[in-house]
Amino acid sequence: MTIETPRTDAAPAPAAPAKGRSIQWEDVKLPAWITGLIGAVGIIAVWWILAATVFSSVGPGGVQAIPTPLQVVVEFFETGFEFYAKNFGVTLTEAGIGYLWGNGLALVLAALVLIVPRLEGVVMQIAIITYCIPIVALGLLLTVIVPIPVSGQPSTTAIFLAALSCFFTTVVGALLGLKAADKASLDLITVYGGSRLTQLRKVRLIAALPAVLNALQIAVPAAFLGAVLGEFFGKITLGVGPAMIAAQQALNAARVWDIALASGAVALIGYSLLGLVSRAVAPWSKGTSS
């Protein structure tokens, strides 16, 4: 007579759900776009309420300092899209040129540090100096050195400040990424007779991609801001900076808000586009598959 013992490798039965448990807030998961939409609607609602109550008083010249969202939208359509396209086109050109120069120089210096390690101190000192010097002081100095550009042409001052605004973050991000390479892979290249340049091409560039792309993403709004600040000193007639100054002098608060909000939207679009590029080029950094 054989006695069968009960099997112990069977999967345990699933636990019965708790009865009478109410749905908690942490159980509700909304998509990211819904939470973003709720936040945007909330900000606009608070803005509208404050503009219609607390800040509804009219200042000098009969102008309300903080207009309501409706007044801002009406002013945008009354001004016309051509006005914004013309001014933002000049500023985006300046920011783009400065973005390429600043980030290109930063990436070259970061790669040079990996080939010649003794240059790291010099490169970091240059990056820190560019970050610590007040950008307003540089703008005033450049107005004396740089000639006044032709009307409608990009401002050299704006290009220089745009490049300066994104240089430091890209240098630091690139160096951190290039130093994050796997040491075993670097030792393997050394054992087989590879040079530092081979390590840079075969291992370090791949390992540094997420950090470099994040630095380039942060540099987008920084370059745009540097270009706008440069236009305040560049003595030009077209651009976001001159348009904002003209609206302020005309006591047109709604247009000032229009330009400011459009500037934020442009910087956010550029930042988001670089984020999509980062996800496509280095999907492993976001936890997704290629």
Q: What is the pLDDT of residue 1?
A: 47
Kindly give the confidence (pLDDT) of every residue in the chain, 290 residues in length, as a single tens digit, with 9 standing for 90 and above: 455 555 555 555 555 555 555 656 566 677 777 888 888 888 888 888 888 887 777 666 556 778 888 888 999 998 888 999 999 999 999 999 999 999 999 999 988 887 787 888 888 888 888 888 888 888 888 877 877 766 667 888 889 999 999 999 999 888 888 777 777 777 777 777 777 777 777 777 777 788 888 889 999 999 999 999 988 886 788 889 899 989 888 888 889 999 999 999 999 999 999 888 888 877 765 555 54
Q: What is the pLDDT of residue 290?
A: 47
pTM, 2 dp? 0.78
DSSP code, position 63: -
Q: What is the pLDDT of residue 26?
A: 61
Sequence ranges of the domains in the chain = 71-283
Phi, psi of 261 (to 5 degrees): -65, -40
Superfamily of domain 71-283: MetI-like (1.10.3720.10)
Q: What is the pLDDT of residue 152?
A: 64
Please spell the DSSP secondary structure of 152-189, one letter per residue.
Answer: TSPPHHHHHHHHHHHHHHHHHHHHHHHTTS-HHHHHHH
Confirm if 101 and 163 have CB atoms less than 8 A apart: yes
Q: What is the pLDDT of residue 60?
A: 60
Q: What is the pLDDT of residue 270?
A: 92
Please spell the DSSP secondary structure of 87-109, one letter per residue.
Answer: HHHHHHHHHHHHHHHHHHHHHHH
Confirm if 167 and 104 have CB atoms less than 8 A apart: no
The tokens for 219 are: 């540099």
